[in-house]
Structure 1
Amino acid sequence: MLLGVGARLLAGAMIVVCMVLVGPSAPGGALGGSLPGVAVKDTVPNRVMTWNLCNPCEESNVDRAAEIAKYAPQVIGLQEACEPDVARIREYLENLHGLVYHVEYGTVLRKWGRCGGAPWSPGAYGQAILSAAPMTDRVNVEYPDGGSEDRGYMAVTTRVGGKLVRVFNTHLAERRQEQVRVEQARVLAGVVARHDRAIVLGDFNAVPDAPELAPMWELATDVDPQCHPSPVGTCEPTTEWQSKFDYIFLRGITPLRHRVLASPYSDHLMLQSDLDQV
């Protein structure tokens, strides 16, 4: 009888030792914090990115977060973004990849068909900005005419490469609504013009030589040196249908290099740029 009790005590002690060595089995652990074994990594301090997420699309937020984590931008602007999706992407970036971001939303509508939710409380849809540095002075503006769907822009002040800069994120009206985009681009350019240093991220739904983008070209340049209003050069497409719709416009800031990055998780490619003299 005493031998049996001793054996049970020994087995219990071994279990405790194993739990200490291995750690909790639940995701994130009973003690909280990041997932076991996840190394904290840094964002690239002068890197910015824009990405239209595709909506409605049946894509995993785990996969979206993994795509962003590959390049670890300091700031990323997301379009066609549902607030719950962005919140999960942010959580996965931290818990699975060790990347900690602040987030601000630029909701333009609440629509069950875009973001789900309860029929009486549909999900919030629009833009979002994730930044490794804190953000201040957020504004969120709907364009007077969104076209077939409400559209708008948001702006924040944050640090990129250690220096303060005004960052905008927008999504202009759909492809065949040129006249609507004319007014939207005019409104956006009028606000951007107030800042000597600005980064404008977004899906403009227009090719570089489209007339409606003229107000933006007067103020800023795209990170792709081949992209400008004159239809010359080889401008890299940013969509599956081989059109350049996505831009990182810079005002008072010089690009160092850029990349257009294919992703299986959206009909838009990711546009990324490292900035010089930020």
Structure 2
Amino acid sequence: MLKRGGSRWLVGAVALGCLALMGPSAPGGALSGRSLPVEAVKDVVPNRVMTWNLCNPCDASNLDRAAEIAAYAPQVIGMQEACARDVDRIRDYLEAFHGLVYHVAHGSVLQNWGRCGGAPWNPGGFGQAILSAAPITDRVNVEYPDGGSEDRGYLAVTTEVGGRSVRVFNTHLAQRRQEEFREDQVRVLASQVARHDRAIAVGDFNAVPDAAELDPMWALATDTDPRCRPALAGTCEPTTDWQSKFDYVFLRGIAPVEHRVVHTTHSDHDMLYTDLDVT
């Protein structure tokens, strides 16, 4: 969705002015010294959904993250390990430098100065976030009863994908060797996904496809890669630097058209996007 008119150019002018004044930022900051795109992306792909664990802490600039997302211009993006301030900056850079306008929903599950900075009395929010080119309604942010070694949860919103109303869930499950916690978390998530005839559940599930704790999700949804399922786990394309598939776009009542795993140097998780047939 391309926002036309004076406000877009005002945002771009202010952002460019700030870049000229500030120059390259410190590692992990909002801006970097890389050259800016020559041409703005014209529009989002209306049936494209992306999931991306941003990696935190990682030495990546939000300007670079925005450029990575803009290259594929998804309608909806689910982010994990996301600081609320970083997500807001990414959204602003997507508009200012790429002409892409997104609504944002935050799903922070903890306030953490070490993860997200901020004043000691006002640390930044950390958790999930969803960007959508269409308006977002019915936001629900749920913290799992037990996150394991760190608070975890899911964010759910209603928005549009391919011109149709869809319930979108975005989650980050407990860390790799905490199967017992993920088992309970998946049951909580699956019970909510099952309430909708048409739903998308994205995120970092921290589990390979044939992990037993994912059974409730496989019982009601399919991965965007139709060849990737527990019985054929070895054929699933990895989505992490350690060559495991941890990132999913689970589909309920929606058909996949094509998908792609995009390697990125800005996170230890690759970007996974999929084009969908929502009809």
TM-score (norm 1): 0.87
Indicate the residue corresponding to 2:199 in structure 1: 198
Aligned to 2:277: 276
Deviations 1:57-114, CA, capped at 9 Å, x for gaps: 1210000000000000000000000000000000000000000000000010001111
Match of residue 118 from structure 1:
119
Q: What is the deviation of 1:156?
A: 0.3
2:102 aligns with: 101
User: Where do 5+ consecutive residues of structure 2 fail to align?
Assistant: 1-11, 19-35
Deviation at 1:36, TM superposition (A): 11
Q: 1:217 to 1:90 in 2, by over 3 A?
A: same
Q: Find the aligned partners of 2:233 and 2:138 in 1 and give their Cα distance.
A: 38
Cα deviation, residue 39, structure 1: 3.8
State the secondary structure of the residue aligned to 1:130.
Answer: strand
Distance 1:36 1:246 in 2: 29
Q: How does 1:4-153 map to 2 (within 5 A)?
A: 27-28=15-16, 39=40, 41-153=42-154
Work out the CA distance in 1 between the residues paired with 2:106 and 2:179: 26
Query: How big is each residue's C-alpha offset from its partner over 1:121-158, in whole Å with a ceiling of 9 and x where there is no partner?
Result: 11100000000000100000000000000000010000
Q: Does the Cα contact within 8 Å between 1:226 and 1:233 map onto a contact in 2?
A: no
Task: Evaluate the alpha carbon distance shift between residue 122 and residue 228 of structure 1 in structure 2; reply closer, same or farther with a 3 A threshold.
Answer: same
What is the letter of the counterpart of residue 247 of structure 2?
A: D
Runs of 4+ in structure 1 over 4 Å off? 24-30, 35-38
- CA–CA distance in structure 1, aligned partners of residues 90 and 187 of structure 2: 32
Equivalent pairs, count: 251
CA contact (8 A) 1:38 1:95 kept: no
- In the other structure, the counterpart of 1:154 is 155
What CA distance in whole angstroms lies between the structure 1 residues aligned with 2:233 and 2:204? 21
Question: Greater CA radius of gyration, 1 or 2?
Answer: 1
Q: CA deviation at 1:227?
A: 1.3
Secondary structure of residue in 2 paired with 1:84: helix
Q: Could you say what secondary structure the match of 2:273 adopts?
A: strand
Alpha-carbon distance, 1:276 to partner: 1.6
Distance in 1 between the 2:246 and 2:37 partners? 40
- The TM-score with structure 2 as length reference comes to 0.86
Is the Cα–Cα contact under 8 Å of residues 15 and 96 in structure 2 kept in the other structure?
no
Q: CA RMSD in A?
A: 1.9
Alignment of 1:146-185 (within 5 A): 146-185=147-186
Report if aligned partners of 2:109, 2:153 keep a CA contact under 8 Å in 1: yes
| SS at 2:95 equivalent | helix
TM-aligned CA deviation for residue 222 of structure 1: 0.2
**One-letter amino acid of the counterpart of residue 160, structure 1:** V
What is the alpha-carbon distance in structure 2 between the residues aligned to residue 60 and residue 250 of structure 1?
A: 31
- For residue 226 of structure 1, what is the amino acid of its counterpart? R
Q: Is the contact made by 1:38 and 1:98 (CA closer than 8 Å) also made in structure 2? A: no
Contact 2:262-2:270 at 8 Å conserved across structures: yes
Gap regions ≥5 residues in structure 1? 1-23
Per the TM alignment, residue 37 of structure 1 is displaced from its structure 2 partner at its CA by 7.4
CA distance in 2, matches of 1:175, 1:101: 32
